[in-house]
Structure 1
């Protein structure tokens, strides 16, 4: 049995969606518990067992984001948890939330999981982590496995999202980066974790225009002027969500490039749907790189080679056979469904001890 210690928190004042997702299989309104049905819902084996005694634990999970402790003046709590791990000779695991790729204080016993951040700027104590998503493929279409599309002579490229050439929007996004770097400079002018200037909505628009201007592609693009279409009621949210996933469903490939943070939610949504991402790598910290060969699941385009995006896509599509094209769709859905999961992360963490 692998026992997990999770520090107690104020459950009455905490939104469960703020919790580190690896702790969620043990979360109840009354506190951390070992509930077999809850574990089964998350796909967690009952061999993983919550304990309130750190001296019998195999490892520790921080319940709240690392940046929450730091930003709320609770750095001493992190130091105390690290000491507790040292005293009990166990490892600790935490999660860094938010868009910006800021480095946070590190401790000898702790490893951090995060979606954002820049691989070249961060230490090896920072590991990539997938975006948590509901299975809209099953929810909307009632399917468990993809219906693979045959390879066509003209590949279909999908995109539905925030992309605009607005000068005002571009200026606002760049200003956010400047202000964030200003805060970091005041904290420590000699730091290494600077936020590169990046206007995500404009850069997406530019890449989409590059693809749209190609002759040998079928482009199925829906441009939004605001994040998630700017909708503010449930009816419109449902409509635009359905429109978004229909766009994925009707495409062979989907453009996936970072947003405000240096990660792409669309990457995981594309895998979820059993489609092939055109992944534009902006020094991303991808999950499970010791286990997953990401270049076997995407059309890989380095940011510095973005001007070659059409060439790289057409080269990939020309080279792949129809059977390999269909198999890749199955493998991408399987990657999301079986590997990029809470259950797999828990198992991998337990096996590494």
Structure 2
């Protein structure tokens, strides 16, 4: 078992939404499989790993930076491995000798102690009440997408305003996040999807939304758009994935969970468990200069047998490593080996 310590005074009902994800499973939901892997100690000195209990931006928002840095300095002075969690689309980087767990950011700016968390999603097949089956290979690559993609002037203006507003809040210390350059994700999606649509060597199955989740308001409409989204992934062997506001894609993990093949545009992202997972065996990474060529070349060189096997492997990857419970089981093994 991995011996961990955290300040449990922060583990209140009010902090459920911003707690370190592992602590949520250990202390709120009492996940039995994880409790067999992690032992929560009462003293920092007894632990092998010290965990900051909440998303670190919470301590900045609540003007508790002194508590945070005193806590970190004590753990580091005791030569403990320290885990911190930074949530949201941008995240926040600390200049400390810690292991940082985050959803997004830029691989070229990360150190070796930065760990990417998968987007912890429910099994999509439960939503559409279906079971996984691989799709057979056909002559042309067939790629799907349902989502927010637009190239209108109003969308350009909105994206710029959102970017400027976020940076104003960041500079005025209303928000505490890393800086990120302007990236109009919905406009980029439209551009790349249009290139795929125009290529006669590719079959496309795209539904463009002018707003996020089609701007639905009612629970009934939300359920319908969710069904449409997952049915599209299930119906197509490839799904187009591109980052959103943050430099990561939830759709990427949803595609893996459904046993399909993510076709992802590389925007200098890092994926979870790099060095453990051979990501080249589970997805197609394309640059913004070879989008169509990358998909066509991959499809042509892949045998029918390997095409179906890759889908099976992707489903198993999500089940065995990338859902919430499995990820932290893998992490316990990894850190036990390091200690």
**Corresponding residue of 1:350:** 336
Is 1:71 aligned to 2:61, yes or no? yes
Q: What CA deviation, in whole Å up to 9, does each residue of 1:138-162 have, x standing for no partner?
A: 443353xx31111101221110111
Question: 1:131, CA displacement in angstroms?
Answer: 0.8
Q: What CA deviation, in whole Å up to 9, does each residue of 1:233-287 have, x standing for no partner?
A: 2222221111110000000101101001111111100000000011101011221
In 2: Cα distance, 1:229 partner to 1:345 partner: 37
Is 1:84 aligned to 2:74, yes or no? yes
Query: TM-score normalized by structure 1?
Result: 0.87
In 2: Cα distance, 1:12 partner to 1:24 partner: 11
**Corresponding residue of 2:137:** 151
Kindly indicate whether the alpha-carbon contact (under 8 Å) linking 1:170 and 1:201 is maintained by their aligned counterparts in 2: no
**Corresponding residue of 2:95:** 106
In 1: Cα distance, 2:45 partner to 2:140 partner: 61
CA RMSD across the alignment: 2.2
Cα distance, 1:124–1:171 mapped onto 2, change above 3 Å: farther
Kindly indicate whether the alpha-carbon contact (under 8 Å) linking 1:173 and 1:199 is maintained by their aligned counterparts in 2: yes
Is 1:136 aligned to 2:94, yes or no? no
Is 1:3 aligned to 2:11, yes or no? no
Kindly indicate whether the alpha-carbon contact (under 8 Å) linking 1:67 and 1:104 is maintained by their aligned counterparts in 2: no
Where do 5+ consecutive residues of structure 2 fail to align? none
2:297 to 310, 315, 330: 315
Structure 1 residues 128-137 or 66-75, which shifts more? 66-75
In 2: Cα distance, 1:301 partner to 1:219 partner: 17
In 2: Cα distance, 1:236 partner to 1:52 partner: 48
**Corresponding residue of 2:23:** 23
Q: What CA deviation, in whole Å up to 9, does each residue of 1:63-112 have, x standing for no partner?
A: 211122223322212212213313443111111111125x432222x211
In 1: Cα distance, 2:271 partner to 2:9 partner: 30
SS in 2 for 1:222: strand
Is 1:203 aligned to 2:188, yes or no? yes
Kindly indicate whether the alpha-carbon contact (under 8 Å) linking 2:37 and 2:332 is maintained by their aligned counterparts in 1: no
In 2: Cα distance, 1:24 partner to 1:272 partner: 22
In 2: Cα distance, 1:79 partner to 1:284 partner: 28
SS in 2 for 1:154: coil
Q: What is the correspondence of 1:163-312 to structure 2 with a 5 Å cutoff?
A: 163-181=149-167, 194-302=179-287, 306-312=288-294
Structure 1 residues 60-69 or 313-322, which shifts more? 60-69
In 2: Cα distance, 1:176 partner to 1:75 partner: 27
Kindly indicate whether the alpha-carbon contact (under 8 Å) linking 1:2 and 1:49 is maintained by their aligned counterparts in 2: yes
Where do 5+ consecutive residues of structure 1 fail to align? 30-34, 188-192
Q: What CA deviation, in whole Å up to 9, does each residue of 1:119-147 have, x standing for no partner?
A: 2233444222211111122443353xx31
Kindly indicate whether the alpha-carbon contact (under 8 Å) linking 2:266 and 2:285 is maintained by their aligned counterparts in 1: yes
Kindly indicate whether the alpha-carbon contact (under 8 Å) linking 1:177 and 1:195 is maintained by their aligned counterparts in 2: no
Question: 1:216, CA displacement in angstroms?
Answer: 1.9
Question: 1:172, CA displacement in angstroms?
Answer: 2.0
Is 1:328 aligned to 2:310, yes or no? yes
Q: What is the correspondence of 1:28-67 to structure 2 with a 5 Å cutoff?
A: 28=28, 35=30, 38-40=31-33, 44=34, 46-67=36-57
Aligned pairs, number: 331
In 2: Cα distance, 1:295 partner to 1:75 partner: 40
Question: 1:182, CA displacement in angstroms?
Answer: 5.6
Cα distance, 1:16–1:200 mapped onto 2, change above 3 Å: same
In 1: Cα distance, 2:109 partner to 2:78 partner: 31
2:107 to 98, 114, 119: 119
Kindly indicate whether the alpha-carbon contact (under 8 Å) linking 1:79 and 1:107 is maintained by their aligned counterparts in 2: no
Cα distance, 1:18–1:75 mapped onto 2, change above 3 Å: same
Q: What CA deviation, in whole Å up to 9, does each residue of 1:140-192 have, x standing for no partner?
A: 3353xx311111012211101111112122222233334445666788xxxxx
Cα distance, 1:10–1:45 mapped onto 2, change above 3 Å: closer
Kindly indicate whether the alpha-carbon contact (under 8 Å) linking 2:10 and 2:53 is maintained by their aligned counterparts in 1: no
